[in-house]
Amino acid sequence: MIQKLNVGMAGLGRVGKFHALNFLERTPRAELVAAFTPDPAEIAWGQQHLAPYGVTLYDNYDKMLEHPGLMAVAIGTATSVHAEQAIKAMDHNLHVLCEKPLSVDIEVCKAVVQKAKTKPHLKVMCGFSRRFDESYRDAADKITQGFIGRPSIIRSQTCDKFDPSGFYVEYAAWSGGVFVDMAVHDIDLTLWFFGDDSVPKSISAHGITAVQPELKKYNDYDNAVGVVEFHNGKIAYYYCSRMMAHGQEDTTEIIGTEGKLTVNGNPQKNLVNLYSNAGITREVPPNFMGRFGPAFVREANEFTAACLDNTPLPMKLSNAVKAVEIGAYIQESLVTGKQIHFDEIGRRVQKAQL
């Protein structure tokens, strides 16, 4: 009999549902055996979509961890409990796939990494979906092969379609801000393309509340720009937005000394273009799942393979800490309006005011 990875899903919110169905239907070497959520509405969804296929539902996370034969946990709950649930899973000798970020608190992120170091037999991964996207992997390969010379500038953005429901205003109360919640993906890409040893030299940011002024009560913005200068002579420019009218637009440009690469430079749902008296038009994915759906599937499959075959994970857990740390500094600069400076080993320094 072929061994399968018995997985428990923590959280059945928007992202959790997506992960659950991926492990249930699109990961041949995994078996979704359990799912946890404290939300009655999500339990009802699970009873309809998961329970008929043998998935046991729990409204208590600790009880799910005791599920017979459980081997791994995928965590897609609220950010505020990611770290606690990841550590509890490791304490039960379970592999962990945790949605980003591990926490909005850097010290808590570090605690997860330290716990993982005490359990070297476990696979613990923070899910940065773009690392599993076919286009971003192709760009990374082309950089490694020297197609654009030395990468020097990155311009990367995470832009959500406008949601008038007020969801993102409520979400801002605990998300850590746009740079920790959204640009953390772009920061992770930067560490991938520039090298995970890249050390910030200066950080600055600016933002506006163009369509959701209610965000101000949480010191957050619906549009923000951040710039990070690195000590290795490279610069990253990040743009976050929650007011795109047309759909999801996550785009990256890597400019090198001998050329450049663009990923999703012309956002498109598929390969169909409509030619009509309104001109030439195309549809754009309505959300990040429309853009990165296949990447989430690949993430589940590669995590499963690493657990079953004891092969290395495709990314360092420590990068998940560094991405949040840089994002938190950009968020601080955004709120305070002050530029932040660092020495060559990453220690924060105070620049003289002239």
- Supply the pTM of this predicted model: 0.95
User: How far are the Cα atoms of 108, 181, 206, 295, 304 from residue 128, in angstroms, in the given order?
Assistant: 18, 12, 25, 9, 15
Enumerate the β-bridge partners of residue 275.
Answer: 280
What pLDDT was estimated at residue 174?
86
Rounded CA separation 18/292 (Å): 11
Q: Where are the domains of the chain?
A: 5-127, 133-293+322-349
Task: Identify the DSSP state of 326.
Answer: H
Q: Which residue from 104, 109, 81, 78 is spatially nearest to 176, judged by alpha carbons?
A: 104
Q: Give the model's pLDDT for residue 2.
A: 77
Q: What topology is assigned to 133-293+322-349 in CATH?
A: Dihydrodipicolinate Reductase; domain 2 (3.30.360)
H or E element: which one contains 32?
Answer: strand 30-36
Domain 5-127, CATH among 3.40.50.720, 3.40.50.800, 1.10.3720.10, 1.10.620.20: 3.40.50.720
Residue 76: what pLDDT? 97
Average pLDDT of adjacent 10-residue blocks, the chain of 354 residues: 92 96 98 98 98 98 98 96 98 97 95 98 97 98 98 98 93 92 97 97 98 95 98 97 96 98 96 96 94 97 98 95 97 97 94 53
For 297-309, give one letter per residue: b (16+ CB within 10 A) or e: bbbbbbbbbbbbe
Q: Tell me the Ramachandran region of residue 344: left when phi exceeds 0, alpha when psi lies from -120 to 50, beta otherwise.
A: alpha
Calculated CA dihedral for residues 20, 21, 22, 27, nearest 10 degrees? 100
Q: Percentages helix, strand, coil for the chain, rounded to the nearest 5?
A: 40, 25, 35
Predicted pLDDT at 126: 97
Place of tokens 């996207």: 133
Q: Report the chain's C-alpha Rg in angstroms.
A: 21
CA distance 239 to 253: 12
